[in-house]
A and B are shown apart, each in its own frame.
Chain A
Amino acid sequence: MMEDQEEKGNAENGIGRQKQVKDEYLLQFLDSLDGYLTLLDSLSSTLSQGWLELASARHAMGASRINGALLDLKVHAAATSLKVSEQDVDSMESQPCFTLCKWASSDNGERSSGEEKSLSPQLRHRNNSQLSEEKVSTRTGTPLILVDQQQRQKSLSVFGVLVSPKLRSAQLSFERALETLVEIANLHTTMLSMFEQVHKELENTNG
């Protein structure tokens, strides 16, 4: 009798733990879904601002000075790239984690470290005669990394030496959009991963 009661108790505890795990996966899935939709909304606003600034720059500088035909088709490496690392979900699964590396300066084809961002930054400015630097710190306390202003200027110079301030603003807007997109990409992989987990749990329950 006592043994039966003990077995029944253990079974109930096991079911309770399973339910807790399922609820946790479901909550994580719903959180990532909510974050995904919120960030997409934010991205739409940022892109709208960027397009408006680009249109203003085109109005100021002339349509012939800002169009796709001027794009640099000489061999060159991207100044802004991604770092892809592996993040463990559990012992059986891992998912990719994206980190944006902005304006990494390239010298003779070799990459040096640029600005890494995976969360929203707080900026501090410092005077420097040759390179103007932006020091960035993140909420997680990752080390401060220098941004090469010359790379930013090089990107603008495709459209001429003297460019409208609106073009510079558009550049900053699209940089912000890139940061949001990297966050979206990370939530995208988390959401899909949690969806698979929840789906698996539901199938096990129904099966």
Chain B
Amino acid sequence: MANRPQIRTAASALIAMIADEDTVVGFLLAGVGNVDLRRKTNYLIVDSKTTIKQIEDAFKEFTSREDIAIVLISQYVANRIRFLVDSHNKPIPAILEIPSKDHPYDPAQDSVLSRVKNLVSVESVASDRR
């Protein structure tokens, strides 16, 4: 019990979003938008002018904030900062890759599924049976 990792519990945590305009607007309609006293929002709208650095900075900020429990990121945006997304291994915030209007969800590119695929791949099962 002494070495049990601590889970950060919260009564009221936020959902952050890094996605295209329509996805962000939609989720803001559902009430997840938050603007704090420093005028910091819990979302970043990604368009053609958004740089990789801006996306990286937003991802790093959202994953380091104590009040954010889930980060939603469009999969095509996650692909642009794949190294950063794959290197996140904390349970909170949970990083969920979601489809976007123009880019459907591809399980092969999902960070979590890539991590676990070796356990269920045909090759690994076949090699154990030899």
Chain A contacts to B: CB under 8 angstroms:
29-30, 33, 36-37, 40, 43-44, 47, 50-51, 54-55, 66-68, 71-86, 91-96, 98, 101-104, 111, 151-152, 155-156, 158, 167, 170-171, 173-175, 177-178, 181-182, 184-185, 188-189, 191-192, 195, 198-199
Contacts and interface: CB of A to CB of B under 8 A. Distances in A.
- Main DSSP-derived SS at the B contact region: mixed
B119 to A, nearest CB: 6
Interface residues of B, number: 53
B94 A76 contact: no
11 contacts: A43-B99, A47-B23, A54-B25, A75-B35, A76-B33, A78-B33, A78-B34, A79-B32, A81-B32, A93-B4, A111-B11
A121 to B, nearest CB: 15
Given A33-B116, A43-B98, A68-B21, A81 B12 contact: yes
Contacts of B26: 47, 50-51, 54, 170-171, 173-174, 177
Q: Which 4 A-B pairs have the closest CB atoms?
A: A80-B31, A79-B31, A78-B34, A174-B26
B24 interface: yes
A78 B9 contact: no
Nearest to B36: A75
A98 B69 contact: yes
Given A71-B25, A84-B8, A96-B7, A91 B104 contact: no
A82 B96 contact: no
Contact of B14 (A81, A95, A173): A81
